[in-house]
């Protein structure tokens, strides 16, 4: 499954924002709405650089050329506002699908190994002590051969 990601970056305050869209067109349209509302609308019409850029950006948007409008906005930031630049990026991203045939799985947690330093353990199933067995748990128990065979056959974890 693919989605379209709209990222906004404020290089002055080191802030970012990210929204996910189903189509490229939706993401680009949202980028244009935001850059107009938060930036271009507040530009100074008497500033020639801002006036020219604003006209070109709005012309691209009128023609439905949202990608070019975003690019023009980012170019303006590079040219005239590099110290406080705000950028909009729209790009495609592959995401994991969560259907049953292809569900992502976490690796099993690593077992905590315990090994007694001296022999002598009691089976935690049948409670039979064995002076030669080593406990595999810190409570001094192990699973005897009989019980572990039993649980292997019947599928019960010792």
Contact positions toward Zn ion, by CB under 5 A? 123, 125-126, 144, 147
CB closer to Zn ion, 43 vs 158: 158
What is the nearest approach in angstroms of Zn ion to the Cβ of residue 126?
Answer: 3
> Which residue number, 61 or 144, has a Cβ lying nearer to Zn ion?
144
Q: What is the 3-state secondary structure (H, E, C) of the chain?
A: CEEEEEEEEECCCCEEEEEEECCHHHHHHHHHHHHHHHCHHHCCCCCHHHHHHHHHHHHHHHCCCHHHHHHHHHHHHHHHCHHHCEEEEEEEEECCCCCHHHCCCCCCCCCCCCCCCCCCEEECCCCCEECCCCCCCCCCEECCHHHHHHHHHHCCCC
User: Minimum distance between the CB of residue 121 and Zn ion, rounded to whole angstroms?
Assistant: 10
Of 121 and 123, which has the nearer Cβ to Zn ion? 123
**What is the closest distance, in whole angstroms, from the C-beta atom of residue 158 to Zn ion in the complex?**
8
Q: Closest CB to Zn ion among 20 and 126? A: 126
Nearest distance from C-beta of residue 147 to Zn ion, angstroms: 3
């Amino acid at each position: 499954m693919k989605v379209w990601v709209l990222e906004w970056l404020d290089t002055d305050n080191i802030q970012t924002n990210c929204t996910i869209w189903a189509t490229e067109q939706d993401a680009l349209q949202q980028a244009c709405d935001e850059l107009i509302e938060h930036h271009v609308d507040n530009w100074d019409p008497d500033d020639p650089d801002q006036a020219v850029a604003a006209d070109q950006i709005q012309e691209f948007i009128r023609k439905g050329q949202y990608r070019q409008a975003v690019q023009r906005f980012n170019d303006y930031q590079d040219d005239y506002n590099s110290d406080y630049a705000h950028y909009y990026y729209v790009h495609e991203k592959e995401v994991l699908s969560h259907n049953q045939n292809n569900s992502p799985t976490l690796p099993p947690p690593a077992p905590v190994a315990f090994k007694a330093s001296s022999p002598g353990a009691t089976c935690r199933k049948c409670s039979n002590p064995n002076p030669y067995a080593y406990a595999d748990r810190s409570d001094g128990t192990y699973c005897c051969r009989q019980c572990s065979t039993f649980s292997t056959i019947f599928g019960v974890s010792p």
